[in-house]
Structure 1
Amino acid sequence: SNAVGFAPELYCGLENCYDVLEVNREEFDKQKLAKAYRALARKHHPDRVKNKEEKLLAEERFRVIATAYETLKDDEAKTNYDYYLDHPDQRFYNYYQYYRLRAAPKVDL
């Protein structure tokens, strides 16, 4: 969990988004990505849990799974994430790329 370069506030936190969705980075395929996401979302959905403490854990896990899927399904976000993985030493550039996609307006002003 204490991987070099991972930041708690970026992408999937201290986890690798590929590992969260159990998808191989070298053999990436959007169809496999969607299938893996649906299976994990169904398995970890908070509505499947009755216990309140377990529900909170399931909500957090579900949030990480959804974030991983959102990151890898978008081509631009995936490109930025791959760069983030390959260049952990460029922390400020990686922060900029992450927040540029998250906070920038989606329409041309």
Structure 2
Amino acid sequence: MDPQTQIELEAAAFRRLQKHLMEDRTDVQNIDLMNLAGFCRNCLSRWYQEAAAERGIEMSKDEGREAFYGMTMAEWKANHQTPSTPEQDAAFTQAFAENVTDKS
């Protein structure tokens, strides 16, 4: 496979994952994604922002989230986010430390 085709396939897979998380499975909460998989929509938006920065494109955290979510974070929360339980919060603290804080 040539490098350009590989890039195009990877981009298509990313777009499909984005659509799946943003349109098809809005019922799945970010906290559950982080607790189970070690990443969430916010991680994906941060990775998008970091990829932009690597290419010299300035993008704030909010701009990265809006680019990934297709809406502001406030809109996403109002439309899709539900309150978390104390158990979810405790698991999130551990998952965030293992997958984000300690990886930095």
TM-score by length of 1: 0.29
TM-score by length of 2: 0.30
Give 1 or 2: higher helix fraction.
2
